[in-house]
Structure 1
Amino acid sequence: MHANIPGHQDLQNIIPIDYNANFFFERAVKSLDRFQYGKALKYFRKAVEYEPDNPVNHCNMAGILSETGDYEGSNRVLKHILDQVDSSMTECHFYMANNYANLEQFEEAEQALITYLEEDSSGQFMDEAEEMMELLHYELNRPTKVNKIKSREGMVEHEQARALLEEGKFAQAAKLLETIVEDCPDFMSARNNLALAFYYMGRFAKAKEVIGDVLDKEPGNLHALCNLAIFYQHEKDEEGLHRLLDMLSVTIPFHQEHVFKLATTMGILGRHEAAYGHFRRLTKDEEFSSDASLYHYTAVAACNSGRMEDAVRYWRQCKRLDPANDVADFYLAQLDSLQESDSGSLKVSYHYHLPFEEQFKVWEHDGAALTEEAKSNPLIRSSFFWALRHGEPHIKLQVIQTLELIADEEVQHALHLFLQEPGEDVELKAAAELVLTRLEGASGREAAGEMPSDSLNEVLPEWHKEWQQVLDLAVSMGQRQDPYRKREMERLWSQFLSRMYPDLPKMRNLSGWAAALEYTAGKLAGDSYTYEKLAERYQISSSTVRRYARQLAMTDADREEARNNFRPFTEKS
Structure 2
Amino acid sequence: MDATFFFERAVQSLDRYKYDKALKYFRRAVEYEPDNPVNHCNMAGILSEMGKYGESNDVLKHIVDRVDPSMTECYFYMANNFANMEDFESAEKALVHYLEHDANGQFLDESEEMMELLSFELERPMKIAKIKSREGFVEHDRARSMLEEGKFTEAIKLLENLVRMHPEFSAAHNNLALAYYYVGRFTDALAAVKQVLAIDPGNLHGLCNLAIFLQHAGEREPLEELVELLEKTVPYHQEHVFKLATTMGVLGRHDSALRHFRRLLKTEAGQADVCLYHYAAVACYNLDRYAEARRFWKQAEKLDPGSDIPKFHMNVLDRIESGLAKDGKMTISYHYHLPFEEQLRQLQRAQAAGYVPERLRNDPLLRSSFFWALRHGDRDTKLQVIQAYGMIGDAEVADSLTELLSDPNEDDYVKNVSVFALRGMGVKGPITALIGGREVAFEKNVYSPNLPVWNAEWQEVIDLAMVRMSTRYDMIQQFDMVTLWVEFLTRAYPAIPKLTKKEGWAGALEYLTAKMHRRTASYQDVARRYGVSITTVSKHAKHIDETCGLREKMDSIFANFGEKL
TM class by shorter chain equals 0.5 to 0.7
**Matching residue of 1:302:** 284
Structure-1 separation of matches of 2:172 and 2:402: 25
What is the CA deviation profile of residues 300-348 of structure 1, one whole-angstrom value per residue up to 9, with x for unaligned ones? 1211221111111111111111112111111111211221126464421
Q: Does 1:330 align with 2:312?
A: yes
**Matching residue of 2:253:** 271
Tell me the TM-score normalized by structure 1: 0.57
**Matching residue of 2:89:** none
- 2:469/2:478 contact within 8 Å kept: no
Residue number among 402, 405, 426 corresponding to 1:416 in the alignment: 402
Which consecutive residues of structure 2, in runs of 5 or more, have no partner in the other structure?
Answer: 1-94, 96-106, 118-129, 432-444, 446-453, 520-536, 551-565
- 1:296/1:352 contact within 8 Å kept: yes
**Matching residue of 1:66:** none
How many Å apart are 1:383 and its aligned residue? 2.5
**Matching residue of 2:350:** 366
Residue number among 365, 389, 399 corresponding to 1:403 in the alignment: 389
- 1:222/1:258 contact within 8 Å kept: yes
Distance 1:125 1:346, change over 3 A: closer
Residue number among 346, 349, 355 corresponding to 2:339 in the alignment: 355
Q: Report 1:83-482 matches (<5 A).
A: 126-127=112-113, 152-341=134-323, 343=325, 345-367=329-351, 369-370=355-356, 372-439=358-425, 441-442=427-428, 475=469, 481-482=472-473
**Matching residue of 1:547:** 547
Distance 1:440 1:549, change over 3 A: farther
- 1:520/1:549 contact within 8 Å kept: no
Distance 1:466 1:165, change over 3 A: closer
SS at 2:334 equivalent: coil
Distance 1:506 1:216, change over 3 A: same
How many Å apart are 1:149 and its aligned residue? 7.4
- 1:519/1:549 contact within 8 Å kept: no
What is the CA deviation profile of residues 507-538 of structure 1, one whole-angstrom value per residue up to 9, with x for unaligned ones? 59998876666767998xxx689xxxxxxxx9
- 2:420/2:479 contact within 8 Å kept: no
Distance 1:544 1:179, change over 3 A: closer
Distance 1:240 1:309, change over 3 A: same
- 1:272/1:305 contact within 8 Å kept: yes
**Matching residue of 1:34:** none
Tell me the TM-score normalized by structure 2: 0.58
Deviates more, 1:280-289 or 1:338-347: 338-347
Structure-1 separation of matches of 2:251 and 2:406: 27
Deviates more, 1:410-419 or 1:506-515: 506-515
What is the CA deviation profile of residues 415-451 of structure 1, one whole-angstrom value per residue up to 9, with x for unaligned ones? 1333344444443333223223443625899xxxxxx
What is the CA deviation profile of residues 370-411 of structure 1, one whole-angstrom value per residue up to 9, with x for unaligned ones? 352333322222222223233444332221111122222211
SS at 1:252 equivalent: coil
Structure-1 separation of matches of 2:515 and 2:202: 52
Q: For this pair of structures, how many residues does the alignment match?
A: 389
How many Å apart are 1:259 and its aligned residue? 1.5
Distance 1:210 1:498, change over 3 A: farther
Structure-2 separation of matches of 1:463 and 1:394: 30
Give the AA of the match of 2:224. Answer: H
Give the AA of the match of 1:400. Answer: I
- 1:164/1:170 contact within 8 Å kept: yes
Which consecutive residues of structure 1, in runs of 5 or more, have no partner in the other structure?
Answer: 1-90, 92-120, 132-147, 446-451, 453-458, 530-537, 551-573
Structure-1 separation of matches of 2:389 and 2:308: 22
**Matching residue of 2:26:** none
Distance 1:238 1:468, change over 3 A: closer
Structure-1 separation of matches of 2:487 and 2:267: 59
How many Å apart are 1:151 and its aligned residue? 5.7
Structure-1 separation of matches of 2:302 and 2:291: 17
Give the AA of the match of 2:269. Answer: E
- 2:208/2:243 contact within 8 Å kept: yes
Structure-1 separation of matches of 2:506 and 2:419: 23
What is the CA deviation profile of residues 174-231 of structure 1, one whole-angstrom value per residue up to 9, with x for unaligned ones? 2222333233333211111111122223332222222222212222211111111222
What is the CA deviation profile of residues 113-148 of structure 1, one whole-angstrom value per residue up to 9, with x for unaligned ones? xxxxxxxx99897238999xxxxxxxxxxxxxxxx9
Give the AA of the match of 1:364. Answer: Q
Distance 1:374 1:464, change over 3 A: closer
How many Å apart are 1:163 and its aligned residue? 0.6
Structure-1 separation of matches of 2:109 and 2:239: 23
Distance 1:225 1:468, change over 3 A: closer
Deviates more, 1:172-181 or 1:416-425: 416-425
Q: Report 1:9-88 matches (<5 A).
A: none
Distance 1:336 1:165, change over 3 A: same
Give the AA of the match of 1:376. Answer: N
**Matching residue of 1:560:** none
Give the AA of the match of 1:173. Answer: A
Structure-2 separation of matches of 1:217 and 1:301: 33
Structure-2 separation of matches of 1:222 and 1:328: 30
Distance 1:261 1:122, change over 3 A: closer
Give the AA of the match of 1:202. Answer: G
Structure-2 separation of matches of 1:310 and 1:165: 32
SS at 2:150 equivalent: coil
What is the CA deviation profile of residues 228-261 of structure 1, one whole-angstrom value per residue up to 9, with x for unaligned ones? 1222222222222222222222222222111211
Give the AA of the match of 1:251. Answer: T
Structure-1 separation of matches of 2:234 and 2:272: 23
How many Å apart are 1:505 and its aligned residue? 4.5
- 2:469/2:510 contact within 8 Å kept: no
What is the CA deviation profile of residues 61-112 of structure 1, one whole-angstrom value per residue up to 9, with x for unaligned ones? xxxxxxxxxxxxxxxxxxxxxxxxxxxxxx9xxxxxxxxxxxxxxxxxxxxx
Structure-2 separation of matches of 1:494 and 1:396: 24
How many Å apart are 1:492 and its aligned residue? 6.4
- 2:373/2:385 contact within 8 Å kept: yes
Structure-2 separation of matches of 1:316 and 1:543: 62
How many Å apart are 1:164 and its aligned residue? 0.5
SS at 1:319 equivalent: helix
- RMSD of Structure 2 on Structure 1 (CA): 4.6
Structure-1 separation of matches of 2:512 and 2:244: 49
- 1:288/1:294 contact within 8 Å kept: yes
SS at 1:324 equivalent: coil
